[in-house]
Amino acid sequence: MKIPDAEIVEILRVGQEGDGIAALADGTPLFVPFGLPGERAMVKPSVKRGDGFAAHIDHIERSSLERVPAACQHFGICGGCSLQQWQMESYAAWKTGLLDMALRRAGFMPKLDPIVITPPGTRRRMDLAIRRTQAGIVLGLHTARDKNVIDLAECPVLHPELMALVPKLRDVLRRLQALGHEGSAIVNLLDSGPDILLRTDKKLAVSDRTILAAFAEANRVPRVSWAQNTAQPETAALLRPPITSLAGTPVAVPPGGFMQATADGEAAIVAAVMAGLPPKPVAKARVLELFAGSGTLTFAIVKHMRVHAVEGDAAAHASLKAAANTTGQTGRITTEQRDLARQPLSAKEVSAFDTVLLDPPHGGASTQIAQIAASTIKRVIYVSCNPTALGRDALMLKQAGFKLVSAVPVDQFLWSARLESVSVFVK
Ligand SMILES: C[S@@+](CC[C@H](N)C(=O)[O-])C[C@H]1O[C@@H](n2cnc3c(N)ncnc32)[C@H](O)[C@@H]1O
């Protein structure tokens, strides 16, 4: 299909991916990154996208009164943020609308709680790409448009301790024999310090271990794990146990393991989940927790009800189980490692519990939710990081006769189009 010529258009709204949406005279949609509602802009369509075209702004003829200066020098190029240019009130209303729309599409009439927005400077996990170039080490996020990597000089969403580590990491990477052309670094900010997982394209030399141990010592890093490309990580340097408190239980999170993106976000999610539990559970009532990770929610809800926690990732499951063991909670927490996409709990298995709590990955839980919908369970607490997937799964709950009793939007991915939420359904 021919790519249309550049044209002046009006931005009608911001779509669910965070792009401004405009339309050509024949109604063909244009997806215009960084465009805000009401703006008139000269845009250049570039490639086919969905039923329309992606287009970039050449210049803005009439700017929105809601347009504000971006907080970061990389904004517009970096793939991390797409909405720093929008004033906070409108941005928050748009984000809330993502959840509202998803639940309405599923047939519910939601009354959402006010959105919880986590402030800048609180993101406690960074996932950076590494390139070795003739000019030195490039360390940062991918650009929005292609696979290039921007060299991160600042990041207003990152926790300052993580941002401060970036130039030091660049320096240490430059000296590693294990880094040929490229790699990646995931850093989780734990209570015991920034826990690092490096993936590089060459073998780790003995001298690399010495360099990494000295780096860890100098930067409050409890552990550096390393893997060649996609291999299983091994420990390269260990100074202290890599521990973080999840609802008061110390947990050794695995290298690069899942953590909620911010501490405030985690607190809001935990609070909404706790509020969704049955108010007066009978003595032996149990929660079936699916996609439990290392136990962020497990160790909170176990204070109220017994839990059976199911997780697919071996390392995450092992860390949850070990933490439950060492803190003497195995009487109230049982665990299971299971792939819930390939082997979901059957409707019969689900029916043995009083409440289901699920927190699936971005794609949602379609195979598992079908079994939940077919079970006799009366209460479902759904933690989601993707309103579209939530909407699809919630439709099955609606068809099974569930009512929506509460929904809380939690914005822990500031200035992006991603949204976390906690919805409670009962029957
Ligand atoms: C969004 S995280 C939630 C983790 C945990 N609830 C928390 O708050 O820390 C999703 C979890 O689902 C797990 N997971 C992904 N696919 C899975 C599958 N097919 N079966 C079981 N678990 C899976 C991931 O390993 C991850 O721990």
Residues 424 and 407: their CA atoms lie apart, in Å, by 6
Q: Atom of ligand 1 at shortest distance to CA of 360?
A: 10
- From ligand 1's centre to the CA of 312, what distance in Å? 7
**Cβ atoms 18, 83 nearer than 8 A:** yes
| 78 is a catalytic site residue | no
Alpha carbon of residue 233 to chain centroid = 22
Segments making up each domain of the chain, as ranges: 7-67, 89-119+259-426, 125-245
- From ligand 1's centre to the CA of 386, what distance in Å? 13
Kindly name the residue from 78, 81, 155, 385 that is annotated as catalytic: 385
CATH code of domain 125-245: 2.40.50.1070
- Average pLDDT on 146-158 reads 95
- From ligand 1's centre to the CA of 313, what distance in Å? 7
- Average pLDDT on 375-384 reads 98
The helix or strand, by DSSP H or E, that contains position 311, with its residue range, turns out to be: strand 306-311
**Cβ atoms 413, 386 nearer than 8 A:** no
Burial pattern 267-288, b for ≥16 Cβ within 10 A else e, equals bbbbebbbebbeeeeeeeebbb
Residues 27 and 7: their CA atoms lie apart, in Å, by 14
- From ligand 1's centre to the CA of 193, what distance in Å? 23
**Model confidence band, residue 209 (pLDDT cutoffs 50, 70, 90):** very high
Q: 3-state DSSP call for residue 287?
A: strand
Give the C-alpha distances (Å, rounded to integers) separating 173 from 165, 170, 231, 240: 12, 5, 19, 22
Q: Whose CA is nearest to atom 4 of ligand 1?
A: 293
Q: Which token pair is 83?
A: 């909405």
Tell me the per-residue pLDDT of 383-400, one tens digit each, with 9 for 90 and over.
999 999 999 999 999 999
Q: Which token pair is 150?
A: 């921007």
**Model confidence band, residue 116 (pLDDT cutoffs 50, 70, 90):** very high
Contacts of 206 (CB under 8 A, 6+ apart): none
Three-state SS string over 33-94 comes to CCCCCCCEEEEEEEEEECCEEEEEEEEEEECCCCECCCCCCCCCCECCCCCCCECHHHHHHH
| CATH topology identical between 89-119+259-426 and 125-245 | no
- Average pLDDT on 279-287 reads 88
- Average pLDDT on 192-215 reads 98
**Cβ atoms 68, 87 nearer than 8 A:** yes
- Average pLDDT on 366-372 reads 97
- Residue tagged 């010529």 (tokens): 5
**Model confidence band, residue 316 (pLDDT cutoffs 50, 70, 90):** very high
Q: Atom of ligand 1 at shortest distance to CA of 342?
A: 19
**Cβ atoms 83, 15 nearer than 8 A:** no
**DSSP E strand stretches across 205-305:** 223-228, 234-238, 243-246, 249-252, 286-290
Q: Whose CA is nearest to atom 22 of ligand 1?
A: 312
Residues 83 and 19: their CA atoms lie apart, in Å, by 9
What is the average pLDDT value for the chain, to the nearest integer?
A: 97
Residues in the ligand 1 pocket, defined by CB under 6 Å: 258, 260, 291-293, 296-297, 311-313, 316, 339-341, 359, 361, 385
The superfamily (CATH) of domain 89-119+259-426 is: Vaccinia Virus protein VP39 (3.40.50.150)
**Model confidence band, residue 284 (pLDDT cutoffs 50, 70, 90):** confident
What is the CB neighbour count within 10 angstroms for residue 123?
Answer: 23
CATH code of domain 7-67: 2.40.50.140
